[in-house]
Amino acid sequence: MRNFQVKASVGGDNAETGNWVSWLPTGGLAADKVLRLISTATSSPICQFISSPTTFLHSVDPRIKLAWLLALVVLPARAQIAVRFGLVAFIALLSVLFLPKQVWVDQLGRVSLLCGILFILSGLGADGVPQLVQSRTPSSSLTGLPDLPKSLSGYSYLIMKLGPLQLTRKGLSVASTASSLTFIIFQSASLCLATTTPEQLAFSLRWFMLPLRYIGVPVAEIILTLMLSLRFINLVFDEVRNVALGIVSRRINWQQLTMKETIDIFASYIQRIFKNIFKHAEQISQAMIVRGFRGDSNGHKLYFLSDSSFGMADFIAVVCLIGVSSAALLSEYFLV
């Protein structure tokens, strides 16, 4: 029997022999990068109310904001491609104008990256691979019939071809719908939550859901759950960030840890997050009991602190909503 030995040199004469070392994954650096990414990703306000500076959107009635959110979800699916991208640009412009710079730079960057990846995958995946189908119709040379005339308008179903993949009009339509709808949903919801307090959102949703009480819908319980959830989101992001910062600040030498020890640290990290979250939930429940809550949402009065007056900002928002909705609906007839 022969013994085979495999050796790999790093500092040999051949300069390319050491390139394989850079491709090896290092668990310590990966764990440190993950924790730093978590701590920085949650540093900017996500789904949180930003009280200052006070902008135009802060003074708009929350019921009009909910109507805007509903319209922005429905319109991209019915409008043309130009209108979809126009709505995306409109939401991005509102974010730049009415959000602090550090907030909109972080949010627009992450959402744009996600939507860009979704656009590429949807565009090339919807109708990207050509089907190998043999036509059953005999050619014109066999039938003696003249060829069909080519379109004089320059219409082409195929837009772009990348090797075996292709971008067609169907793929472009699917990609634009998916990416624009994703961008609009994420960014418009973030914009609404950043300029509206949880009490105002609960008040507006309660105003729309009041007629449902007559068919047995527990409106009071839904509104109370919504308001507590919006208040609880801030605590979740704070705990995720604080625990990650606590681990990073200890300057753990990850390269000296084994894989089992690294997994154990991440398990304790997740355990600590849930422990702190449940602790906050218990404190909230105790505070509600002290204030007289006994489980009956209908008998417990909620103070929404929302002004229902109709001002100039509300009038401008309603006019803009009607204009955007009309433009999106009319685009089906004028844009082909």
**pTM for this predicted structure:** 0.72
Lowest pLDDT segment from 72-76, 205-209, 298-302: 298-302
Please say if the pLDDT value at position 213 is more than 80.
Answer: yes
Query: pLDDT tens for residues 214-235?
Result: 888 888 888 888 888 887 887 8
In which band, very low, low, confident or very high, does the pLDDT at 23 lie, cut at 50, 70 and 90? very low
Better-predicted residue by pLDDT, 325 or 130: 325
Q: Give which of 240, 265, 267, 237 is closest to 32, Cα–Cα.
A: 265
Query: pLDDT tens for residues 84-94?
Result: 888 999 999 99
Please say if the pLDDT value at position 45 is more than 70.
Answer: no
In which band, very low, low, confident or very high, does the pLDDT at 183 lie, cut at 50, 70 and 90? very high
* Whole-number pLDDT of residue 136: 66
Pairing of strands 165-168, 158-162: antiparallel
Domain ranges for the chain: 49-130+154-197+309-336, 198-304
Which residues are paired to 161 by β-bridges? 166
CB distance 98 to 53 below 8 Å? no
Across residues 281-289, what is the average pLDDT? 84
CB distance 187 to 135 below 8 Å? no
Please say if the pLDDT value at position 25 is more than 50.
Answer: no
Across residues 228-247, what is the average pLDDT? 82
End-to-end CA distance of the chain: 76
Across residues 105-109, what is the average pLDDT? 86
Residues near 153 by beta carbon (within 8 Å), at least 6 away in sequence = none
Token pair listed for 265:
């640290």
Please say if the pLDDT value at position 66 is more than 80.
Answer: yes
* Whole-number pLDDT of residue 10: 47
* Whole-number pLDDT of residue 18: 47
Across residues 302-309, what is the average pLDDT? 61
In which band, very low, low, confident or very high, does the pLDDT at 152 lie, cut at 50, 70 and 90? low
Across residues 314-320, what is the average pLDDT? 90
* Whole-number pLDDT of residue 24: 43
Lowest pLDDT segment from 126-135, 137-146, 255-264, 286-295: 126-135
CB distance 51 to 193 below 8 Å? no
Q: How far is CA 65 from the centre of its chain?
A: 18
Dist CA 259 CA 154 (whole Å): 60
Across residues 156-175, what is the average pLDDT? 76
Kindly list the distances between the CA atom of residue 282 and the CA atoms of 6, 226, 288, 295, in Å, as whole numbers in the listed order: 60, 17, 10, 15
* CA dihedral angle for residue 154, residue 159, residue 161, residue 164, rounded to 10 degrees: -110
